[in-house]
Amino acid sequence: MHRHLQRVTVDFEYPVYFTRDAFAPANTCVREAVSGREPQRRHRLFAVLDRNVAAASPWLGESIAAYAEQHRDVLELVADPLLLDGGEAAKNDTAVAARLHTRWNELAMDRQAVVAIVGGGALLDLAGYAAAVLHRGLRVVRVPTSVLAQADSGVGVKCGVNLFGKKNFLGVFAPPFAVVNDSRFLETLAARDVVAGMAEAVKVALIRDAEFFRWLEASADGLAGGERGSLEILIRRCAELHLRHIATSGDPFELGSARPLDFGHWAAHKLESMTRHRLRHGEAVAVGLAMDATYAELAGVCDATTAAAVRTLLARLGLPLWDEALDTRNGSRRVVLDGLAEFREHLGGELTITLLRAIGDGVEVHQMDEALLDTAIGRLRPDTR
């Protein structure tokens, strides 16, 4: 036998900017994001916009055109922006990716061309996925416009769309070319979505950063009221913690069974599909966090004070701890529990769930006691709390 062990090491590097008014002519973030690595040539650029973002900021299309004109030494806008529906419904419609491919074929977009995607986490996931498979990957500059996308999904390495009622059934690991977080966009985001995005900050604080959790507690009233300064601190810290995890966990593409950043997510993903996305991702994550914290308490993994602190912070931020879908049963069994098997199936390997040992300290378990989970869920009912 002859065995050749092939080893390939690839470094990924992408800048993440935090700025305001990214498309103001004097702002150089987008210019740098697109052309920084090859400043001597012009770069073909095409923008995909979340329709809701474009509707809330009607100046956006013109601003992008004016921006490209101002920086025409390095940018060439190849066509008017394409507007696509944002929100989870877009991720459920596989025809949208095909539409993008048709347009990019017409424009002869190649692997050195740049797609700027401006929108919420759902559009970034969808258009990012479409871009990642075209010619095996266009350059993507993400411009996340929601709290969740700026703090979490938009700075990470994953994208995908839903199929067969399953979240992110199709998807790839595809680091972006660059990320431009523009705080101006947050001003038009609905209050509900501002709050929903904060769930991911609570999540990452709980497993990674007790000090951040204490800051969230101290800032909860301001955050719940949408106070801008606090919101920007939350986004920055949350994004940094995610970026640090991706850079240092040793498993950025999730080849192993552990997925600590998906704390609270096994139930969240199931609740999103069970409610046909009536619940926002962040809201479903909040319910999932409350559930797994309560379970950890009942299982003796964390103490009652810790679990209560989680529920209290979520509630103070205006996030839900309960949804009526939790009561949906197949016979006597709560349907949400199917989320455990689906979560394992998505990742492969052994079931691995992150639970809370203490604030800032997650621990992995490979089994969940369904009877205990049922009790934990029952405790979240508003009438029994």
Ligand X SMILES: NC(=O)c1ccc[n+]([C@@H]2O[C@H](COP(=O)([O-])OP(=O)(O)OC[C@H]3O[C@@H](n4cnc5c(N)ncnc54)[C@H](O)[C@@H]3O)[C@@H](O)[C@H]2O)c1
Q: Give the residue, chosen from 27, 52, 230, 352, that forms a contact with ligand X under the rule CB under 6 A.
A: 52
Q: Beta partners for 18?
A: 181
Alpha-carbon distance 311 to 293, whole Å? 8
Of 123 and 380, nearer to ligand X (C-beta) is 123
Compute the least distance from the CB of residue 152 to ligand X, in Å. 5
158 touches ligand X by CB under 6 A: yes
Q: Is 289 in the site for ligand X (CB under 6 A)?
A: no
**At 190, which amino acid appears?**
A
CB of 8 to ligand X, least distance (A): 24
Q: Does residue 282 interact with ligand X by CB under 6 A?
A: yes
State in angstroms the smallest separation of the CB of 140 from ligand X: 12
In the complex with ligand X, which residue's Cβ is closer, 86 or 320? Answer: 86
CA–CA distance, 130 with 101 (Å, rounded to integer): 7
Q: Which stretch binds ligand X (CB under 6 A): 4-12, 38-46, 48-56, 102-110?
A: 48-56
Q: How many residues bind ligand X (CB under 6 A)?
A: 33
Site for ligand X, residues 127 to 156, rule: CB under 6 A = 145-146, 148-149, 152-153, 156
Of the candidates 233, 239, 227, the residue with the CA atom closest to the CA atom of residue 142: 239
Q: Are 297 and 351 in contact (CB under 8 A)?
A: no
Question: Which residues in 180-219 contact ligand X (CB under 6 A)?
Answer: 185, 188-189, 193, 196-197
- The residues near 330 (Cβ < 8 Å, ≥ 6 apart) are none
In whole angstroms, the minimum distance from the beta carbon of 285 to ligand X comes to 8
Q: How many residues does the chain have?
A: 385
Interface residue with ligand X, options 24, 56, 172, 315 (CB under 6 A): 56
Mark the segment that binds ligand X (CB under 6 A) among 18-26, 119-127, 346-354, 377-385. 119-127
Q: Provide CB contacts within 8 A for 56, sequence distance 6+.
A: 188
SS3 for 285-310 is: HHHHHHHHHHHHHHCCCCCHHHHHHH
Q: Does 71 bind ligand X (CB under 6 A)?
A: no
- Given the complex with ligand X, which of 172 and 299 has the nearer CB atom? 172
Strands (E) located in 120-157: 139-144
Cα(47)–Cα(77) distance, integer angstroms: 8
Query: At its nearest, how many Å lie between ligand X and the CB of residue 179?
Result: 12
Q: Of 109 and 261, which has the nearer Cβ to ligand X?
A: 261
- In the complex with ligand X, the residue whose CB is nearer, 128 or 362, is 128
Shortest approach of ligand X to residue 345 CB, angstroms?
A: 17
- Give the HSE-up count for residue 237: Cα atoms under 13 Å, Cβ half-sphere: 23
Which is closer to ligand X, CB of 117 or CB of 321?
117
Comparing CA positions, the residue from 258, 126, 133, 281 lying closest to residue 200 is 281
Q: How far is Cα of residue 366 from the mean position of the Cα atoms in its chain?
A: 24
Complex with ligand X: residue 27 or 162, whichever CB lies closer: 162
Of 18-26, 31-39, 51-59, 226-234, the window that binds ligand X (rule: CB under 6 A) is: 51-59
- How far, in whole angstroms, is CA 243 from its chain's centroid? 12
Percentage helix, strand, coil for the chain under 3-state DSSP, each rounded to 5: 50, 15, 30
Tally the C-alpha atoms within 13 A of residue 112's C-alpha that lie toward its C-beta. 8
Residue 125 vs 209, nearer CB to ligand X:
125
**Residue carrying structure tokens 């204490």:** 214
Q: Which of 22, 29, 159, 207 binds ligand X (CB under 6 A)?
A: 159
Backbone angles phi, psi at 357, to 5 degrees: -95, -40
Contact flag: residue 241 with ligand X (CB under 6 A): no
Q: Closest separation between CB of residue 287 and ligand X, Å?
A: 15
Comparing CB distances to ligand X, the nearer of 29 and 196 is 196
Residue type, 38: E
Binding site for ligand X (CB under 6 A): 50, 52-53, 56, 86-88, 91, 119-123, 125, 145-146, 148-149, 152-153, 156, 158-159, 167, 185, 188-189, 193, 196-197, 280-282
